[in-house]
A = this chain, B = another copy of it.
Amino acid sequence: MRSMSGPIRWRDGRLELLDQTRLPDEEIWLRCERAEDVADAIRRLAVRGAPAIGIAAAYGLALDASRFDEAAELLGSTRPTAVNLAWAIERQREAREAGADLAENADRLAGDQLESDRRMAEHGARLFGSGERVLTHCNTGALATGGYGTAIGVIKTAFDAGKVERVWVDETRPLLQGSRLTAWELDNAEIPFKVVTDSSVGTLMSQGLVDRVVVGADRIAANGDTANKIGTYTVAVVAARHGVPFHVAAPLSTVDPDTPSGTHIPIERRNPTEVTTHANAENWAFDVTPAELIASIITEAGVHEPPYDFAR
């Protein structure tokens, strides 16, 4: 097993990010010296995954503490859907107002993330029976959080407890975070998996080959409606038809109490050329899964079931 120490590191007052656009072919670290470098890395998905974006932005603010407001606005505008970005910027703003060192506070946020990932994993793994076949979508491992992972963290902990027989990995078009990143992480962790095209979810479930679905989240509305990588909703609809439990695993920093329901979540549209070589494409990056299709939401605080009260 190779190092799973995460895609974000702070060295000698500079931020280094593992370029996730180059994985699994090459492990290249980007050196960021200004907030602009971090914003650029977030925009082009060199760093991605809602929690990891938040941590990277927190370090980005540490790079440019002297022009905090400008850097915060720049970083905050990089991607609209994940709420962790705004959350991390807010935590750094509070730290700055309290006179704290922003790099040290970013370290603390990263440590908190790892800790909450581990607690989430323990809570989630208890939901599993034995020898389950689990399906996941997109990438939610250490690469996506800078810690232990959300949905993949749950799956790893369940696997270590002998509760997972195999993971079905949706390839996750258009940018293939499943077949590139999740496959790489599961391979490193020596967890058995198979990649399938996103559209195979119907066949998998109609053949009875999936016992449980666990995915991450980019924003969870107050009512439990959850925005996540495009295709998540399609999986949830098929899972509901086949009675397969569908879970969301995310830190509480992904819950946005100011967003009452999914219809209020802004959905990023990216460049059509990510889908085809020509412009005749529509490329929503996320979709919203209504709370009614979600069996439970797993956070570091525990396993939440509807009606949701995340503040409990």
- A interface residue numbers (CB < 8 A to B): 170-174, 179, 183, 187, 193-203, 206, 230-238, 241, 267, 272, 275-276, 278, 280-284, 287-288
Contact = CB atoms under 8 A, between A and B. Distances in A.
A282 B238 contact: no
A200 B267 CA distance: 13
B195 A173 contact: no
Given A199-B198, A199-B230, A280 B183 contact: yes
Interface of A is mostly: mixed
Contact of A193 (B234, B280, B283, B287): B280
B237 A241 contact: yes
Contact of A280 (B195, B199, B287): B195
Given A179-B275, A203-B233, A280 B194 contact: yes
A203 B287 contact: yes
A233 B198 CA distance: 12
Contacts of A202: 231-234, 236-237, 287
A275 B171 contact: yes
Contacts of A282: 194-196, 200
